[in-house]
Amino acid sequence: MITATRNVASAFDPNTIKPSYATTDTTTGAKPPVGAAEPSVKVSGLAKTSAMGQDEFLKMLVAQLKNQDPLNPMDGKDMAAQLAQFSTVEQLITMNKSMEAQAASAGATAEAIKALETTQNGRADELAQLIEGQMAMGTVGKIGVTTGNTTFLDKAGNGTIVVDSGTMKGGARVSLVNEKGQTVSTISLGEVKGGQMSFELGDYAQTPPLPAGKYTYKFEVATDGGQWQAAKTYTAGRITGMRYESGNPILIIGDSLNVPMSQLTQVRA
């Protein structure tokens, strides 16, 4: 009778254990034929996964110990090395799962923050529009100032102009132009000292007063050499109402000029 002893190498394939057989017949001392095929032993029931679990490892280790060559048993160092390797792999697997969980949690948190920001931004826009609308309503009846060179006269000839002559000083004048492009009046305003200033045209009596309506104007300052230099001008007029356009307040100046609230540079009483 021939007794075979299986020997599994310390480094093994988890799906296949290929044993080697002892070459001695324990009864007669005879040796098996040369070239005899060495059977392979399939280990079933082990799932093919990218990482070996603890149960699979222990089963393989027990099988290896049972089938090792008693004349050449596994070295203690080899066993310790395998155990250490398994422990390291287990730690890496656990760490990887933990990192994946953290990444998923971070992703969910980021999505929640993004959704919250979107909601808050929407509410902030609504609040900003509400505040701007309340501010716009408070300007009705006052003088609104924006970029341009337009003024509005009422039936008594009253109207406001706002100018900035910078560093220019000297005698000043304003020329009014009607909607047909005709210069209809030139008014002397006296000496100016530079900087931004406003004038009420009703204070400079004209006989007869100009018809009510919209006028453009040019403001000039006489220099030391007697030359007239144009100064910066603004559009000014009484705010008579407001309306909304795409949720934004639009002010009505002088009954005909529509100016977004955001384009006002000044509001005067």
Evaluate if residue 54 carries a pLDDT over 70.
no
In this prediction, residue 200 carries a pLDDT of 93
**Spatial distance between the Cα atoms of 137 and 125, rounded to a whole number of angstroms:** 18
Specify the higher pLDDT residue, 141 or 18: 141
Q: Clarify whether residues 68 and 133 are in a common domain.
A: no
Cα 64 from chain centroid (whole Å): 59
Q: Clarify whether residues 149 and 261 are in a common domain.
A: yes
Q: Clarify whether residues 182 and 95 are in a common domain.
A: no
Q: Clarify whether residues 238 and 153 are in a common domain.
A: yes
In this prediction, residue 75 carries a pLDDT of 66
Confidence of residue 104 (pLDDT cuts 50, 70, 90): confident
Q: Mind listing the pLDDT tens digit for each residue in 210-230?
A: 999 999 999 999 988 788 999
The answer to whether the beta carbons of residues 149 and 217 sit under 8 Å apart is: yes
Evaluate if residue 22 carries a pLDDT over 70.
no
Average pLDDT over the chain, rounded to whole?
77
Evaluate if residue 163 carries a pLDDT over 90.
yes
Confidence of residue 53 (pLDDT cuts 50, 70, 90): low
In this prediction, residue 86 carries a pLDDT of 66
Return the structure tokens found at 229.
């230099």
- Exposure string over 37-62, b if 16+ CB within 10 A, otherwise e: eeeeeeeeebeeeeebeeebbebbbe
Q: Clarify whether residues 256 and 158 are in a common domain.
A: yes
Segments in 140-253 forming alpha helices (H): none
Cα 50 from chain centroid (whole Å): 40
Evaluate if residue 5 carries a pLDDT over 70.
no
Q: Mind listing the pLDDT tens digit for each residue in 23-42?
A: 444 445 555 554 444 444 44
Q: Using alpha carbons only, how large is the chain's radius of gyration in Å? A: 49
In this prediction, residue 76 carries a pLDDT of 66
How much of the chain, in percent, has pLDDT values that exceed 90? 36
Q: Clarify whether residues 163 and 251 are in a common domain.
A: yes
Determine the average pLDDT of the residues in 7-21: 44
Count of domains forming the chain: 3
Evaluate if residue 153 carries a pLDDT over 90.
yes
Determine the 3-state secondary structure of 105 from DSSP.
helix
Q: What residues make up the domain containing 64?
A: 1-72
Q: Clarify whether residues 94 and 153 are in a common domain.
A: no
Chosen domain end from 23, 49, 72: 72
Q: Clarify whether residues 50 and 108 are in a common domain.
A: no
Determine the average pLDDT of the residues in 70-98: 71
Closest CA to 208 of 153, 165, 264, 166: 153
Q: Clarify whether residues 152 and 256 are in a common domain.
A: yes
In this prediction, residue 253 carries a pLDDT of 93
**Spatial distance between the Cα atoms of 64 and 58, rounded to a whole number of angstroms:** 10
Q: Residue 231 sits in a domain of what CATH number?
A: 2.60.40.4070
Q: Clarify whether residues 264 and 154 are in a common domain.
A: yes
The one-letter amino acid at 232:
K
Evaluate if residue 138 carries a pLDDT over 70.
yes
Is the pTM value of this prediction over 0.75? no
Least confident window among 52-56, 217-221, 233-237, 238-242: 52-56
Find the angle CA(238)-CA(169)-CA(160) to the nearest 5 degrees: 10
Confidence of residue 233 (pLDDT cuts 50, 70, 90): very high
Question: Residues for the chain: how many in total?
Answer: 269
Chosen domain end from 72, 91, 106: 72
Chosen domain end from 110, 139, 168: 139
Q: Clarify whether residues 253 and 226 are in a common domain.
A: yes
Segments in 31-75 forming alpha helices (H): 54-66
Q: Clarify whether residues 178 and 228 are in a common domain.
A: yes
Determine the average pLDDT of the residues in 244-264: 89
Return the structure tokens found at 47.
């799932």
Determine the average pLDDT of the residues in 2-17: 42
Helix axes 54-66, 76-139, angle to 10 degrees: 170
